[in-house]
Amino acid sequence: MTSINFIVAKDDLDQCKTITTRLPDADALPQDVLLVRVDRFAFTANNITYAVLGDELKYWQLFLEPSGFGNIPVWGFGDVIASKHPHVAVGERLFGYFPMATHLVIEATDVSKRGLRDGAAHRQGVAPVYNAYARVSGDPAYAGRHGDYQALLRPLFMLSFLVDDFLAEHDDFGAGAVLLSSASSKTAFGLAHLLHRRGRKVIGLTSAGNTGFVTSLGCYDEVVSYDRVTSLPSDAPVAFVDMAGNSALRAELHRHFGSQMKCSLRVGLTHRATAADEGELPGAKPRWFFAPDQIRRRAKEWGPGGIEQRLGAAWSGFAPLLERCLTVVESRGPEAVRQIYLDTLKGRIPPEQGHMLSLLG
C-alpha cells in the first residue's frame, strides 16, 4: 500500500511535487500504531506561513520527507483504516494536524475518551497541540459544513481569541481604535468580530481589491486600502495587530501615528515582505505575539477547561457569521491540490473562499 504526499522545496516554495511513499502493511503494524487515511483538510495563507517558518518553528520536523523538501502541516480529518491500539477502532474519525498526504502512520499514545497523541519521536520537538488528535466520530460539531468551518477557522480563531483577550487585559493599551492589516484574512476577521463585540472601534487595512469583502463582513467600523493609510487621523491613540507582516506598511503606520501608536503586535506574514533589519520606529516597539505564553498564563488563572469554555462561547457567536461570508470550495486529487497551493502562495484566492482539499482522487 502507498501514500501520495504533496511536498515543497524548503528553500523555494514555488517548487512542489507529489511523491509516492510505501506504507507499512496493515497486518504488520507495531503495537499501538494506527494507519490513518487523510480524508480532507483546510488550506489557507496560514499554511503558507507554516512553510515560511518551517525551519525556525520546526514545522518541517512533523512529517519527514526527502532531503530539501518539506510537507506542510494542515488541519483536517482522517479515518483510522488499521489499528494495533486496543482502544482505537478501525473507522474512527480524528481531527488534528495532518501532512498534505493521503495517509499518516500514528504511534497512538495518551489515548483518552476525547483524544490521543502521536508519540513518534521526531514529532516531540514542537508544542503539544501539534501532536494532539481529537476523536470526533459522530460529533455533530465536526460533521459536514461545521467540520469544514472547524478545520478552516478554529485554529485561526484561537489566535483571534487570544489576541482579543490580551488587548482587553491591557485595556487596549489606551487605544481608541484597533488597526488590523490583511483585514480580509480569516484570522483578522475573527479578531475584528471579537473586538467589535466588545465595543472597540476596528479599522481594517486591506488591498484595494478586497475592500468590498471586508466592508461586507460588518465587523469593521472603517475599511482603508493600503495606499490610503496616511489619510487616517493620527491625533488619537491606536493599537496595531499585524497579520500582513509587511515591513514597509508597518513603518508607514508607525511614522504616521508616531507616539499615538500605543501597541504594535506582529501575528502573521501573509505578504511575506519582512525586512531583516527594520531599525527603530516611532511609537510602541513592534513585538511578536506569542500565543503559547498567553495560553499558559490563562490556563493557570482560569483553571482546567477555562480557556476551552470561553473559546467555545466566543466560537458560538462567531460561527453564524461564517454561513454568510464564507464559501467552502472543495477540491480533490493531486493536480487540484497543486493548483490551490500555488494560488494560495501567490495570493490569488478570493477572501470569501475557504478551501477544503483532499489528495484522494
Q: Which residues contact ligand NAP by CB under 6 A?
A: 44-46, 49, 156, 159, 182-187, 206-207, 210, 243-244, 267-271, 291, 346-347, 351
- Residue 242 CB, nearest distance to ligand NAP (Å)? 9
* Cβ nearer to ligand NAP, comparing 131 with 270: 270
* Cβ nearer to ligand NAP, comparing 80 with 269: 269
Identify whether the C-beta of residue 55 lies closer than 8 Å to the C-beta of residue 10.
yes
* Cβ nearer to ligand NAP, comparing 25 with 330: 330
Identify whether the C-beta of residue 35 lies closer than 8 Å to the C-beta of residue 24.
yes
* Cβ nearer to ligand NAP, comparing 33 with 217: 217
- Region of 113 on the Ramachandran plot (φ > 0 left; ψ -120 to 50 alpha; else beta): alpha
Identify whether the C-beta of residue 70 lies closer than 8 Å to the C-beta of residue 2.
no
Q: CA–CA separation, 306 vs 189, rounded Å?
A: 24
Q: CA–CA separation, 325 vs 184, rounded Å?
A: 11
Residue nearest to ligand NAP (CB): 347
* Cβ nearer to ligand NAP, comparing 74 with 269: 269
Retrieve residue 79's grid coordinates.
479515518
Longest Cα–Cα distance of the chain, Å, equals: 70
- Residue 105 CB, nearest distance to ligand NAP (Å)? 27
User: What sign does the CA torsion over 41, 43, 48, 49 have?
Assistant: negative
* Cβ nearer to ligand NAP, comparing 33 with 345: 345
Retrieve residue 19's grid coordinates.
511523491
Of 141, 56, 50, give the one whose Cα is nearest residue 99: 50
